[in-house]
Structure 1
């Protein structure tokens, strides 16, 4: 009997539309012969199943079921493509854990940690993962600009602590840039992380569990036309993504090992995309995405195709790993 798979998309954050695109790609490529697939849109005001006629059917959130005509549809697993809250910060993971429904992303605790840049970096430093020098500040804290500069230097990055797709991420070049950048970052999250600027080659490394084993899909080099890899660079064509990255064999080996070390240290499951920057020949951790973009133009699917894995195979493998 075919399994019923809910493909979760949308979410409550500024990444809602990006997630819809990821979910639509999964829906298009996940085998209809092998699975019964259902597009489930998660909005702030409603959760609903979107059928092929684009009609909405409300999800019963008490048990995560839908009713089509007189039939109650229960789900065997959820394919989580939601970027940001509630699909990447642990809220949906906890919900499905309570209902005992498998979902493709990591568990709620790992999701909460990885979505919080400050907590994630603090944990990984204990495992010897190198990262930029940082400074933590909250919205109501007194701002000591000279203290910030003494600790992280200039230029520096000012980042909303819990956000994706570079929303609330700014680069401060001068002392005068810091306060306006902080105000903008605080409009996205009341917690902010300020990091020293590292110059070098930025790369992104995709991981998937293939036959039960975490495996690096590929390493992509990111060359941006903008000052850094911001929203425009990511989604509006202002960057070039080169797969495989132009690294030496030694650098490839080092960063693959470091990526898998991060994956295992955080008790990850399913897909991940981990970003690093090579500064003076050494890779520094930037962040990890536990629900990376899955559109055909996104980095992880590009890496899979380069590796000879079709999107149909990639997504089916993710479902089978989840069901296992």
Structure 2
């Protein structure tokens, strides 16, 4: 019998449209002979499924079910395709845990931790797995001193929302005069701002996933932005070159794979995640940037590129991810 899958898209953040693009790719590549897929849209006003005739049917939040004319639909698993809140910050995962519905991503604690860039950096720093850039965190309602920030960090720095994705609200600051404006720009996206020293070098990003308890890495991608850094335009509007697989020496590839696997293991990740690194131009050391527990997966996004570079197709890949969801559920 086919499994019923809730493909959950949308969300509460500026990444709503990106999530819809991710959901299109996933839906197209979930094997219709194995899965009945229902795309569920979540926004701040409603959670709903749209029928073929265009009728909106609201989700019953008591058990995340649908009451259709053909009968009640309950799901075997949720495939989460929401970037940002509530699908990447642990909120939706906590809800699914409470009602007993298995899902495709990291659990609520891991999602919340990795969504907060500063907290994630602090945890990883204690594991001594990878280098972490020096940084300062600001909170909206806590006074801060620009002078103290400049004493703690060396220019240039990146100023970014601490809990946001897709490079929304991110600035590169090269002079003290730019700092205040960059902080205000980030506060427009989030209540916390991370200010991080700039590491000059090559940007490398790698997909990681686990099947049957074994962690796998995908071929890494080197990102060469046409802009000053890998901002929203570079990510989603073609202002970057993405080289997959990255043209890097075998020893660096081995080191990157090993560090990515260690981070996945130490953070207790699940499903497919994408990890971003910088290869320091001066020391030739890898520095960790962040973990994306719900990486973009529209047709030309990085994870689909990396999957294809292995020789796998997306239908097989997503099928394996869902098989793992059911394997873990069955082992409990």
Q: TM-score range by the shorter chain?
A: over 0.9
Q: Does 2:147 correspond to 1:151?
A: no
Q: TM-score, normalized by length of structure 1?
A: 0.98
Which residue does 2:69 correspond to in 1? 69
- 2:206, 2:272 → 1: CA distance? 11
- 2:177, 2:326 → 1: CA distance? 52
Query: Cα deviations across residues 244-282 of structure 1 (Å, max 9, x unaligned)?
Result: 112111110111100011111110000100000000311
The residue matched to 1:104 in structure 2 has which SS? coil
Which residue does 2:312 correspond to in 1? 309
Q: Which moved more, 1:208-217 or 1:10-19?
A: 208-217
Tell me if the contact between 1:223 and 1:241 (Cα under 8 Å) persists in the aligned partners. Answer: yes
- Following superposition, the deviation at residue 100 of structure 1 comes to 0.5
Tell me if the contact between 1:39 and 1:51 (Cα under 8 Å) persists in the aligned partners. Answer: no
Tell me if the contact between 1:38 and 1:51 (Cα under 8 Å) persists in the aligned partners. Answer: no
- Following superposition, the deviation at residue 53 of structure 1 comes to 3.8
Which residue does 2:8 correspond to in 1? 8
- Following superposition, the deviation at residue 218 of structure 1 comes to 1.4
Q: 1:189 to 1:27 in 2, by over 3 A?
A: same
Q: Does 2:91 correspond to 1:91?
A: yes
Which residue does 1:29 correspond to in 2? 29
Which residue does 2:181 correspond to in 1? 180
- 1:237, 1:58 → 2: CA distance? 36
- Following superposition, the deviation at residue 214 of structure 1 comes to 1.5
Which residue does 1:194 correspond to in 2? 195
Matches for 1:90-109 after TM superposition, within 5 Å: 90-109=90-109
**Which stretches in structure 2 are left out of the alignment for 5+ residues?**
328-332
- Following superposition, the deviation at residue 115 of structure 1 comes to 0.3
- 1:231, 1:11 → 2: CA distance? 18
Which residue does 1:117 correspond to in 2? 117
Query: Cα deviations across residues 96-144 of structure 1 (Å, max 9, x unaligned)?
Result: 0001100000100000000000110000000112111111111123332
Matches for 1:1-324 after TM superposition, within 5 Å: 1-128=1-128, 129-279=130-280, 280-324=283-327
Q: Which moved more, 1:173-182 or 1:144-153?
A: 144-153
- 2:10, 2:3 → 1: CA distance? 22
Runs of 4+ in 1 over 6 A off after TM superposition: none
Alignment length (residue pairs):
324
- Following superposition, the deviation at residue 299 of structure 1 comes to 0.3
- Following superposition, the deviation at residue 211 of structure 1 comes to 4.3
The residue matched to 2:295 in structure 1 has which SS? coil
Q: TM-score, normalized by length of structure 2?
A: 0.96
- 1:14, 1:53 → 2: CA distance? 28
**Which stretches in structure 1 are left out of the alignment for 5+ residues?**
none
Give the aligned CA root-mean-square deviation in angstroms. Answer: 1.0
